[in-house]
Structure 1
Amino acid sequence: MTRHSKNCTASSVYSYHEKKKDAKASGYGSLNMRYGKDGVKDFDCCSLSLHPCRDPVVTPDGYLFDKESILEYIITKKNEVSRKMKEYEKQCKKERNELAELGEAEQRSQVEKFLNTEAAVASPSQAAQGEKSKVEKITGPSVSNMVAGRDKKLPSFWVPSLTPGNKETKLKKPDKTVYCPISGKQLKAKDLIPVKFTLADASSSSSLEGQRDRYKCPVTGDVLRNNIPCAVLKPTGDVVTMECVKLIQKDMIHPLTGVPLKESDIIELQKGGTGFAAANDHLTGIKARPVLQA
């Protein structure tokens, strides 16, 4: 096959490069775009409000939250569980009442059947009618759907509760456990650990919102950023770099207080996510658009 010239427009070949170029210009095909640094949540921001934490706390898994936001989330979830539990208990009570009514109706029908049988054997039909009226006085009217002309009535197609085949949705017993909104693991208020950041410049503590370099490691003095792995020392809540953690792990002694540490006292702080459903793992946004057919 001969090589195409630059001005050749009669070719039946539609290359991948041409397809991508046309899709970008015409708005067809999936659009991929990588998030920039402005679209990534800072490591010291709350995972719920996405703002710098005023009173930071961290979960045992290393996810940072503002104390006010996470406590409000826990209270909201508990109130929701309480509401669902009341609805579930109401449904259970209704089912118990229905079972009790069915049991009483079955007992009445058995008594009625027994008395009718005895009356038919011992006396003529009039006596049987008299016994039936006595039974109705004692046990009440029959609940059968085949007496008193009830078998001629059709269910209503206009009333939702009487529509044929209408079934009530049964509620499942709600789970009382509150889960972390980021990790999906069980979350308790008592497990939240207070965090203490060391200011990079103590004189500018009033305007942390607009600063990029807000905090530093209290041991090494390195400025903390998203690209620097950090960890929280559980006994005091100080945030240090992972390079400092490597030095701490040699002696397992707190560098600021001298208190012995355990491996569980070092909590790696999770990096700032994108603020979207996929955080840390996928930093690319994909938008599906109509496909351009060749």
Structure 2
Amino acid sequence: MTRHGKNCTAGAVYTYHEKKKDTAASGYGTQSIRLGKDAIKDFDCCCLSLQPCRDPVVTPDGFLYEKQAILEYILHQKTEIAKKMKAYEKQKQVQKSSSQLESKSSERERVELFKTRENSIVSKPINPFTSGLNRGGDSDRAGSSSAAESSGSSASSVSSASSASSSSSSLSLPSFWVPCLTPEAKPTLIKKPSKTVLCPMSGRAIRMNELITVRFTPLDSSLDRVALLTRQDRYVCAVTRDVLGNSVPCAVLRPSGAVVTQECVDKLIKKDMTDPVTGDKLSDRDIIPLQRGGTGFAASGIDLSAKEARPVMQV
């Protein structure tokens, strides 16, 4: 094959492979990739640390966590909420003080306006002997003054119209190049933070007293923890002794914390609704389906594609 055929520079079609290659090299456009089994969390790993749990607990939604990791997360979130609440209270105090200053300044302006109006009122004594003689002159002066006022009002209307047109033509707009016209950024208002700690996986409220201790049944009780973690099949169902994994739907029983398969729940436990480990009566909320990762196969029902949104060049 010639070099021209290898480079394929004579093709009239922009192929999908070329487009994908150019997108990866340019740094623009959204990239998508399919995840493999190595990028999927095992059913017995913590959702925060992604490591096999030493002291596992599960939420009512079925998400598994290491007890120490989830407690540290809850304490950290409470600390952050306390900081945000403190900043919100400080902003609230600043707004309250500024509103008080504005009310005081407006009240002061009203007082000053009242004083100026009162000072402009001047009372003059009336002479009864000269008031009758000046009536005719006063009427003439009134007529001339009314004519002058009408002419002045027309002139003032013309001048106000011209000033309005000049002000509209010379309206100053904000500019980023002139320092005196540069717009100022207003401080961002802090919204009142919620005091509820949310689960990092489900987004629902999570509390320490709602965490349920989980007890896995090891495949071989004679193995220590290190030897158990090196095996691919580590735990089994507490009732049927079936091997547990990401491909096997599991459930946690609230009274005992035992992990059983969903098949065992449907065929055995739901018949008499009794915990086979402790003998306690169960309800529907006491059977918690355990959230698990995918198996790496496309038909596992779990989306294994990851996308990275990057800048897009638009014409």
Q: TM-score, normalised by structure 2?
A: 0.67
> Would you say 1:221 and 2:245 are equivalent positions?
no
Alignment match, 2:138: none
* Structure 2 residue 48 is the aligned partner of structure 1 residue 41: no
Equivalent residue of 2:121, what SS? helix
Query: Does residue 283 of the first structure (1) align with residue 304 of the second (2)?
Result: yes
Q: Is 1:184–2:225 an aligned residue pair? A: no
CA shift, 1:205, in A, is 2.6
CA distance in 1, matches of 2:247, 2:235: 14
Change (3 A) 1:41 1:165: same
Task: For 2:195, give the aligned amino acid.
Answer: K
Question: Match of 2:241, as an amino acid?
Answer: G
Offset at residue 32 of structure 1 (A): 5.7
Per-residue CA deviation, residues 148-190 of structure 1 (Å, 9 max, x unaligned), is xxxxxxxxx9xx9x96543121111111111111111111111
Contact 1:195 1:232 in 2 (8 A): yes
Query: Which consecutive residues of structure 2, in runs of 5 or more, have no partner in the other structure?
Result: 1-7, 125-175, 296-300
1:66, distance to aligned residue in structure 2 (A): 0.6
Alpha-carbon distance between aligned partners in 2 of 1:245 and 1:220, rounded to the nearest angstrom: 10
Pair 1:57-2:54 in alignment: no
| Separation of aligned partners in 1, 2:247 and 2:309 | 30
**Alignment RMSD, CA only?**
3.5
Higher helix share: 2
Specify whether residues 244 and 173 from structure 1 end up closer, same or farther in structure 2 by C-alpha distance, changes over 3 A only: same
Q: What amino acid sits opposite 2:239 in the alignment?
A: V
- Indicate if the aligned counterparts of 2:71 and 2:208 stay in contact, CA closer than 8 A: yes
**Residues 91 and 215 (structure 1), Cα distance of their counterparts in 2 relative to 1, 3 Å cut:** same
Matched, 1:211 2:250: no
Q: 1:123 to 1:203 in 2, by over 3 A?
A: farther
Deviation (angstroms), 1:123? 8.2
Q: Which segments of 5 or more consecutive residues in structure 1 lack a partner in the other structure?
A: 1-8, 125-156, 275-279
Residue 245 of structure 1: CA displacement?
Answer: 0.4
Counterpart for residue 283 of structure 2: 262
1:80 deviates by 0.7
Question: Alpha carbons of 1:32 and 1:96: their partners in 2 closer, same or farther (altered >3 Å)?
Answer: closer
Q: CA deviation at 1:271?
A: 1.0
The Cα offsets for residues 187-239 of structure 1, whole Å up to 9 and x where unpaired, read as 11111111111111112232143221111111111111111110000011000
Question: What number of residue pairs does the alignment pair up?
Answer: 243
User: C-alpha distance in 1, partners of 2:308/2:90?
Assistant: 45
State the match for 1:133 in structure 2. Answer: none
Aligned partners of 1:199 and 1:205 also within 8 Å: no
Equivalent-residue separation in structure 2 for 1:260 and 1:77 (angstroms): 36
Instruction: State which structure, 1 or 2, has the greater radius of gyration over its C-alpha atoms.
Output: 2
Q: Distance in 1 between matches of 2:307 and 2:114?
A: 74
Give yes or no for contact 1:220–1:244 (8 Å, CA) kept in 2: yes
CA distance in 2, matches of 1:287, 1:116: 68
Match of 1:200 in 2: 219
**Offset at 1:20?**
3.8
Residue identity in the other structure for 2:270: Q
Partner deviation per Cα, 1:100-122 (whole Å, 9 max, x = no partner): 11111111111122122222224
Partner of 1:148: none
Tell me what 1:69 maps to.
Answer: 69
| 3-state SS in 1 of match to 2:194 | coil
1:31 Cα offset (Å): 7.0
Measure the CA separation in 1 of the matches of 2:70 and 2:100: 45
Provide the rounded CA distance (Å) in 2 between the counterparts of 1:27 and 1:107.
65
Partner of 1:172: helix, strand, or coil? coil
